[in-house]
Structure 1
Amino acid sequence: ALRNSSGCRGGSMRYMVSVQNNGGHVCGGFLITNNFVVTAAHCFNDFPTHVVLGNHNLKNGQIVEIKNKFVYSSYNTPEKGDDIMLLQLATTNDLHDEIQLPHAEIDLTENEVCQVAGWGKTMNGGKTVGELRVVDVSVINPQVCKNQWPQLPANVICAGGYGTSKGFCQVCILSNVSRFLFDKCTVLNTYYKLTN
C-alpha cells in the first residue's frame, strides 16, 4: 500500500508498469528497456502473465504479454534480500519511456528525498485504487535500519522509516507474501538501488 500518497501527474512516470495476472494487478514494475521490466521476485508467486503500459489508470493502457521471467539467482524470500525479477516482454515497446537508472558511483545520503510509486491500497482496510500513486520518502541512515532490523541485507536502501504514516507499507510473515496493512508501517521500508 502507498500510505499518504497522491495521484501521479499526468504524463509523468510513463516507465511505470502494472504487472498483472488473469485476476488483475499484482505488482508494480518499471521499464528499463523497450522489452524488459524490473519488478519484485516475490511477484513470481502470483503467476504474472502480462503487463499494462502507458497509462496511470489500470483500466487503460497497452497490454503486453510476458515472454520470460528471470528471478535473481540468490533470491529466497523478501526478508533475505535480492527480491528482484526481470520480465522479458513478448513484443518490443517504443511508445513509452524507460526509467533513467543512476550511475553506480552515485550514493544516496541520509535524508535525501526519493519517490515511491505504484498502485494498490492507500490505507488500512481501504479499496485498491486503479490510479498510479506517488509519495516522497526520505533515506534513513543504514545503521539506524540495522538497529531495528539486524538481518538487514547489505544491498537495500531504507527509506520512509519505522512507524511512519507514509511510504510503501508491507509486512511479510515468514515466506508468506500476503500483505497486512496497519495505520502505521510496522516494518522498515526497504528498496534496492539499481544502476546501469
Structure 2
Amino acid sequence: MFLQIVTIFALLAIANGAVTPLGLEPNLPQDGRIVGGVATSIADHPWQVSLQRNGAHFCGGSIISNNIIVSAAHCLISPSTASNLRIRAGSNNRNYGGVLIQVAAIKVHEGYNTASKVNDIGVVRLQSMLTFGSTIRAIAMASVTPSHGVAASISGWGKTTYGGSSSSTLLYVDTKIVGRTQCGSSTYGYGSSIMTTMICAAAADKDACQGDSGGPLVSGGQLVGIVSWGKECALANFPGVFANVAELRNWVLQAQNTV
C-alpha cells in the first residue's frame, strides 16, 4: 500500500511539471541495479564509483581526476554533507573491495533547480588521492554533445525495476542517445521539461533507475551524461534524462579548482 501511494504521488508530480530524480525516491531503498542490465567488471568501467552516505550506497559518480568525482547535484544536496559521504572505487561490489575514501568537500552547480533538475551536476573532492590502475581510472569529459542515435552505455548499482529488487554487483546497459530536440518533441512525453543542459538516452526495456543517479552515461570513451531524472524507469515513451556534460564541462573545470 505504501509503495502504491508513493507511486501515485510520483505520477502526480510528473503531471504537474515536476521531475523525479532517479536516485532519491523518498523512503524507498536506494540500492539495486540497472533495468535490463548485465553484470560487468569494474575494469571495463574503472571511472565508476559508489557514492555512499552514512555507510550505504545511494548514488553513483565518475572519476575525472585522482581526487575529483563528478556526480548529480541532487545527490549532493541536504542531507548529504562532506562529513557523511564516502566513495568506493575499484570494486564490482558496492559493499566491499576496492578503496573507500572520505569526502573532503562538495560543490553543487549554483544554477541547479530542484524542481526542473536543470544544471543537475556537482563535484566531490576526496580527502586522499586515488591510485590509478586497471580498476581505478579517470574518464575524459565530452566537449561536444553526442548526436542523436549514437551508441552509449550506462553503469551503476540502481534498481532492476521501478521500486524493485536490489543487487550489490555493478551492471551496465547499452543504449542510444536521444538528442535534446528529439527528446523534447511530441515523439516522447517530456515536452518542454527537456532543457539545454540535459540529454536523453533510450533502449527497449533498458534504463537507469533509482540508485543510479550521479552515475555515468558514456559514449565514445567519454563521459557525456550524468544520470539525473526520468518518469519511473524504462517506460517506452520516457527516455532516461541526463545532465549534458558537454554543456556543463566548463563549470566542472572551474569548480574542481575551488571545491
Q: Same fold by TM-score, threshold 0.5 exceeded? A: yes
Q: Is 2:197 the counterpart of 1:160?
A: no
Matched residues, number:
186
Query: Residue 131 of structure 2 aligns with which residue?
Result: 94
Q: Which has the higher contact order (CA 8 A, sep 6+)?
A: 2
Return 77-86 or 27-36, whichever deviates more.
77-86
Instruction: Map 1:49-88 onto structure 2 (within 5 A).
Output: 49-58=85-94, 59-77=96-114, 79-88=116-125
AA aligned opposite 2:166: T
Secondary structure of the structure 1 residue equivalent to 2:178? coil
Secondary structure of the structure 2 residue equivalent to 1:75? coil
User: Do the aligned partners of residues 55 and 182 (structure 1) sit closer, same or farther apart at CA in structure 2, a change above 3 Å counting?
Assistant: closer
AA aligned opposite 2:98: G
Instruction: Map 1:144-159 onto structure 2 (within 5 A).
Output: 144-147=182-185, 148-149=189-190, 150-159=192-201
- Equivalent-residue separation in structure 2 for 1:140 and 1:178 (angstroms): 14
Match of 2:168 among 130, 133, 151: 130
- Equivalent-residue separation in structure 1 for 2:42 and 2:48 (angstroms): 12
Match of 1:143 among 181, 184, 193: 181
Runs of 4+ in 1 over 6 A off after TM superposition: 177-180
- Equivalent-residue separation in structure 1 for 2:202 and 2:239 (angstroms): 8
AA aligned opposite 1:32: I
Q: CA deviation at 1:123?
A: 2.1
AA aligned opposite 2:72: A
AA aligned opposite 2:89: L
- Equivalent-residue separation in structure 2 for 1:151 and 1:143 (angstroms): 11
AA aligned opposite 1:108: P
Residues 91-123 of structure 1: per-residue CA shift (max 9 Å, x gap): 111232111223x2x341121110111112112
- Equivalent-residue separation in structure 1 for 2:163 and 2:73 (angstroms): 25
User: Which is strand-richer, 1 or 2?
Assistant: 1
- Equivalent-residue separation in structure 2 for 1:185 and 1:70 (angstroms): 34
Secondary structure of the structure 2 residue equivalent to 1:121? coil
Residues 102-147 of structure 1: per-residue CA shift (max 9 Å, x gap): 3x2x341121110111112112453221111111111123323112
Mapped contact 2:208–2:234 kept (Cα < 8 A): no
- Equivalent-residue separation in structure 2 for 1:143 and 1:165 (angstroms): 22
User: Which is helix-richer, 1 or 2?
Assistant: 2
Mapped contact 1:35–1:89 kept (Cα < 8 A): yes
AA aligned opposite 1:53: A
Root-mean-square deviation (CA), in Å? 2.6
Query: Residue 193 of structure 1 aligns with which residue?
Result: 244
- Equivalent-residue separation in structure 2 for 1:94 and 1:183 (angstroms): 36
Match of 1:5 among 37, 56, 67: 37
Return 118-127 or 89-98, whichever deviates more.
118-127
Structure 2: which 5+ runs fail to align? 1-32, 211-227, 250-259
- Equivalent-residue separation in structure 2 for 1:152 and 1:52 (angstroms): 32
AA aligned opposite 2:235: K
TM-score by length of 1: 0.83
Residues 76-99 of structure 1: per-residue CA shift (max 9 Å, x gap): 216331111100000111232111
Identity %: 25
